[in-house]
């Protein structure tokens, strides 16, 4: 069997079309959703993510306030900018691109963001609400994964989902979201990580694998059962002299081999990536609606 490819670009385009219509309707009522974007430093991957986020905003009519700060920016300066955005009624969502330079304390910065503008879903208040199943901004990559599964018709209820990777941005929240008593969740979840003994023992039992380890080839064909659904969150650069830029992007899954056993699989690029940005747009539109008593 060769897997069907889950086309994240198409699913993302469908959702963005819905959002674009919603933004137009809001504009007719005098509401323009706004996103404040902050990037500290010049990490090339972060720069391209931030540029992609701003372009996506522009494409659907969201106003974005672009702030690219030098790597030497102090924590106080960054906190002052967050505070300005917290108090700016044109800004409905605040995005501080992670990781931050070492001299800045990430938890302090995330805590400073007004939870009503926390469109990344990283504030402890948002994380806590998500954990107990209350309505809140959901973090974008995990939310995108859940939407991909839902819109691809994958049944999660009662399924055994094995998540590989325990980051705060993907692994922990996606595991949590999938075990909630909700539509598109209700799964039995196992969370594997670097200290898991015999990871293949768990992944071979999985109906759905979510690979978010940050390492190429974490999931190989011998580690999966026939018919598994595979969501690959990885974005890894590997040297490739045949490409003009000298590298290519691969996920955390040995795609070519695993697709021969899986029933559905996401590619890299073009799988989870476009969904992350889309859910950021979704949260920003939601925030604008809430701020104007429309949600
Ligand atoms: N760095 C990697 N992923 C993300 C994300 O979803 N949001 C932010 N702010 N930074 C990130």
pLDDT over 90, % of the chain: 99
Residue 69 contacts residue 77 (beta carbons within 8 Å): yes
pLDDT interval class at 295 (50, 70, 90):
confident
Cα(54) to centroid(ligand 1), Å: 13
What pTM does this model have? Answer: 0.96
For residue 138, pLDDT beyond 80: yes
Cα(170) to centroid(ligand 1), Å: 10
Q: Which CATH number fits domain 31-114: 3.55.40.20, 3.40.50.1240, 3.40.50.970, 3.40.50.10860?
A: 3.40.50.10860
Per-residue pLDDT at 37: 98
Q: Dihedral angle at the C-alpha atoms of 17, 35, 110, 129, nearest 10 degrees? A: -40
Phi first, then psi: what are they for 37, rounded to 5°?
-115, 130
For residue 267, give the 3-state DSSP assignment.
coil
Tens digit of each residue's pLDDT (9 = 90 or more) over 61-93: 999 999 999 999 999 999 999 999 999 999 999
What are the extents of the domains in the chain?
31-114, 140-274
Of 56, 96, 169, 233, which is best to mutate to test ligand 1, by the most ligand atoms within 8 angstroms of its C-beta?
Answer: 169
Decide yes or no: CATH 1.10.10.10 for domain 140-274. no
Please compute the mean of the pLDDT values over residues 193-202 and round it to a whole number: 98
Tens digit of each residue's pLDDT (9 = 90 or more) over 229-261: 999 999 999 999 999 999 999 999 999 999 999
For residue 1, pLDDT beyond 80: no
Ligand 1 close to Cβ of residue 100 (< 6 A): no
Per-residue pLDDT at 236: 95
Residues carrying an active site annotation: 53, 97, 120
31-114 matches 140-274 in fold: yes
> What distances in angstroms separate CA 238 from CA 84, 96, 282, one per listed residue?
40, 27, 32
């Amino acid at each position: 069997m060769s897997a069907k490819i889950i086309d994240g670009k198409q699913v993302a385009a469908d959702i963005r079309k819905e959002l674009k219509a919603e933004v137009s309707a809001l504009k007719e009522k005098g509401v323009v959703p706004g996103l404040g974007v902050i990037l500290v430093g010049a990490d090339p991957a972060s720069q391209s993510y931030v540029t992609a986020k701003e372009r996506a905003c522009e494409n659907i009519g969201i106003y974005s306030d672009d702030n690219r700060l030098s790597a030497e920016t102090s924590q106080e300066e960054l906190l002052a900018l967050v505070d300005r955005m917290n108090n700016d009624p044109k800004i409905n969502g605040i995005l501080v691109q992670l990781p931050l330079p070492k001299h800045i304390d990430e938890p302090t910065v995330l805590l400073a963001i007004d939870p009503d503008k926390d469109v990344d879903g990283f504030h402890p208040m948002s994380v806590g609400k998500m954990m107990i199943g209350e309505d809140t901004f959901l973090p974008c990559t995990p939310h995108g994964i859940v939407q991909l599964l839902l819109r691809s018709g994958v049944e999660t209820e009662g399924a055994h989902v094995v998540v590989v990777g325990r980051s705060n941005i993907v692994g922990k929240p996606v595991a949590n979201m999938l075990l909630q008593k909700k539509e598109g969740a209700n799964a039995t979840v196992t969370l594997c990580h670097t200290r898991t003994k015999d990871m293949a023992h768990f992944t071979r039992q999985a109906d759905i694998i979510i690979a978010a380890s940050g390492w190429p080839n974490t999931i190989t064909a011998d580690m999966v059962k026939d018919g598994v659904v595979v969501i690959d969150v990885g974005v890894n650069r590997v040297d490739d002299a045949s490409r003009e830029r000298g590298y290519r992007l691969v996920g955390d899954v040995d795609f070519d081999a695993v697709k021969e056993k899986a029933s559905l699989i996401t590619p890299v690029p073009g799988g989870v990536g476009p969904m992350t940005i889309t859910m950021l747009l979704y949260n920003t539109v939601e925030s604008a609606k809430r701020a104007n008593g429309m949600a």
